[in-house]
Amino acid sequence: MPKEYYLYVNGQRVKVSEQIYKVYWREKEHEKYLEQVDKKNHLLFFSSLDHDGHFVDNIVDESVDVEKIVETQMMIEAVRNAISRLNAEEKDIIERLYFNDEGVTLLVRAEASAK
């Protein structure tokens, strides 16, 4: 009695020739070998990251708070805009207090001695 060969297709057992059976398993084993080589070489395919069809969601860097960065940039822009509307004396006071780290007392004394 000759040996019978079967493959499963869509859950159904299908009788095939010996040649088809051997070709199928040779390809399966080759595919398995290539996957092992890829793992050994730490090869990563982008397609393996796309589990749900939303690749971008899988590469989001959670350590960076983009919202906070944008908010800070907007606040800096608002401060610059406000400072640009001040007169020269007011700009000088802001610069001395916040950028030159002069205290209010020192600022008042300097203003008093200037008058």
The amino acid sitting at 28 is: K
Q: What is the pTM of this model?
A: 0.41
How far apart CA 76 and CA 95 sit, in angstroms, is: 15
Residue 49 confidence (pLDDT):
62
How far apart CA 56 and CA 47 sit, in angstroms, is: 12
Residues with Cβ within 8 Å of 15's Cβ and at least 6 positions away in sequence, in order, are: 4, 5, 6
- The 10s digit of each residue's pLDDT in 82-108 is 999 999 989 988 888 888 888 888 878
Nearest CA-CA partner of 14 in 5, 22, 2, 23: 5
Residue 53 confidence (pLDDT):
59
